[in-house]
Homo-oligomer: A and B are copies of this chain.
Amino acid sequence: MGKLLRINTKEKTFNFEEVPQDYEGLGGRALTSKMILDEVPPTCHPLGKANKLIFAPGILAGSPAADSGRLSAGAKSPLTGGIKESNAGGLVSQKLAKLGITALILEGKPENDDYSMIVINNDGVEILPVGDLAGKGNYEVMENLWAKYGKNTGVLSIGQAGEQCLKSASIQQADMSGKPGRAHGRGGLGAVMGAKKIKAIVVDDKGASRVEIKDKDAFKAANKRWVDMLRKHPVTGEGLPALGTAVLVNVINEAGTFPTKNFRTGRFEHAQDISGEKMAENIEARGGITTEPCHPGCVIKCSNVYHDKDGKYLTTGFEYETIWAFGAHTTIKELDDIAMLDRLCDDFGLDTIETGVTLGIAMEGGMIPWGDGKAAIDLLSKVGDGAPEGKIIGSGAAFTGEALGVDRVPVVKKQSMPAYDPRSCKGVGVTYATTPMGADHTAGYGVTANILGVGGTVDPHKKEGNVELSQGLQIATAAIDAAGLCLFVAFAVLDNEDGLPTIVAMINAQYGLSLTPDDFLELGKSILNNEKEFNKRAGFTKVDDKLPEMFDEKFPPHDTTWDFTLEDLAKTLDF
């Protein structure tokens, strides 16, 4: 059995604690959301001493299960004011699991401005001053920490955005090459870490024993089926490895639901210039990597390394939603400018979706011209030096809309919508509206049955079936997030009757349990119920599921509108 590691950030002390009964058997999002509901006052200030920042490896973390290395981070969100779970790949999850740490909890708040870092290894825990790493970007921080603690050390860190407690601030994770290419991006969790004055967390599992597997043979058999399933599915076995998530640019643009110029139309005339195919072509010509895992044990390998036109490293983990946000949404068509914007976000520690949507709002408000990549880079750069423009841009789209008097801002619960228009991809629209997270495609990726023909077919332009689609996906996703599995396994799971049973078989083999697939889905429901309950106590009502008035506009090319009532939507998470 693992332990909870609680850090008192005010006193700079720590405490290992047995996992209490209420939290037993939970991991990942199931654990972070349960702990936040139980331990964080729902009306507290997200940057105050009462909020907690919780990191939890998934249930399968540290095991050999393919794609089980996602780490959940949770807190009351400074962006939405509601509960937040944001998970990311990287090296930390598996190392925490091997060190026997079920959750790492940052509590309290220091009264002075000195930053600390937390070093966790097999010898114990140290809370150390960060010295001159304070004020530095994530690239420099991670380079320093790998130099000091060794390559392949797990690192979580915040950049200048988190230090300034900006609402779009992310927590970055060192990727396989020690770059800040992986992000707990959404919901401003970097600001919570910044408020607690923790600049970085270093996790080293050298000397730690392996995670115990109760029934090794059963585990091995199930994992083999699992790997085969992932490798054989066309999305996880071919599309994602070849072109990364950017494979979606042409697909979603073709489907006419690629939100362009702040959600005015569903096709971007320059989509080809920012497509996965174009990205792969550049990588091929300039060096870089098209196919890289975000954590050890990943068989999908949808990450990448992208070089500039001189063949010099530019950025990593360059994703579809990032390219869309900085690209079609702002009408910037130069992929290299978009890559630079991605790099700046990774370095300052900013959510790329939130920041890209925000730059579009800055264009809508006349702060910079539409489609001007260089102006966008200049503006975003100001986050790094704490300039007032940076404080606005780093605080997200809703905030920037308020600063500039713009009333056309595509947010739900103050979180920016990602790269699929809710009017012509209604399954994901229902998810945006109803997930306790604020607009988030990963909470219930209706693009599957709406566009990709995965897990059935539901018309993306009509209401019918999309509440049910989103409901099923939100439940399954919550459970997958609890397991610590990458969301992309869902493609294979949805198209494979043996998918869910195989995940459950791995959990059963690891822990000596006899759960059924239904038990696993019940876990998903209980997570969502905990999250809804927290938000309710924090003051959320069904009104918070409303999409902004801009979605009453007809959306070309399909001329769809958003036509769900709040009563329709209320059914989504009613179970």
Residues in chain A within 8 A of chain B (CB atoms): 42-48, 50, 78, 164-167, 191, 194-195, 387-389, 391-392, 395, 399, 402-407, 537-541, 543-544, 546, 548-549
Contacts and interface: CB of A to CB of B under 8 A. Distances in A.
Contacts of A392: 388, 391-392, 403
Contacts of A537: 543
A194 B543 contact: no
Given A549-B48, A549-B50, A391 B403 contact: yes
Contact of A43 (B46, B166, B402, B543): B543
A402 B399 contact: yes
Given A392-B388, A402-B399, A543-B538, A407 B195 contact: yes
Of A166, A403, A404, A537, chain B has the most CB atoms within 10 Å of the CB of A403
B405 A549 contact: no
Nearest to A387: B388
B541 A405 contact: no
A539 B544 contact: yes
B539 A45 contact: no
A158 to B, nearest CB: 12
Contacts of A544: 539
- The 4 A-B pairs with the shortest beta carbon distances in the complex, nearest first, are A165-B405, A539-B543, A388-B388, A47-B407
**A interface majority secondary structure:** loop
A395 B403 contact: yes
11 contacts: A44-B549, A47-B405, A47-B406, A78-B402, A165-B404, A166-B405, A195-B407, A395-B402, A399-B403, A539-B540, A539-B544
Contacts of A402: 78, 167, 395, 399
A108 to B, nearest CB: 13
Nearest to A393: B388
Given A392-B391, A392-B392, A48 B539 contact: no
A213 B388 CA distance: 56
Nearest to A47: B407
A403 B168 CA distance: 11
Nearest to A113: B366
Contacts of A47: 405-407
Contacts of A388: 387-389, 391-392, 403
Given A50-B549, A388-B388, A45 B407 contact: yes
A405 B543 contact: no
Given A43-B543, A539-B541, A191 B405 contact: yes
A224 to B, nearest CB: 49
Nearest to A547: B43
A163 to B, nearest CB: 9
A567 to B, nearest CB: 14
B164 A549 contact: no
Nearest to A50: B549
A165 B399 CA distance: 13
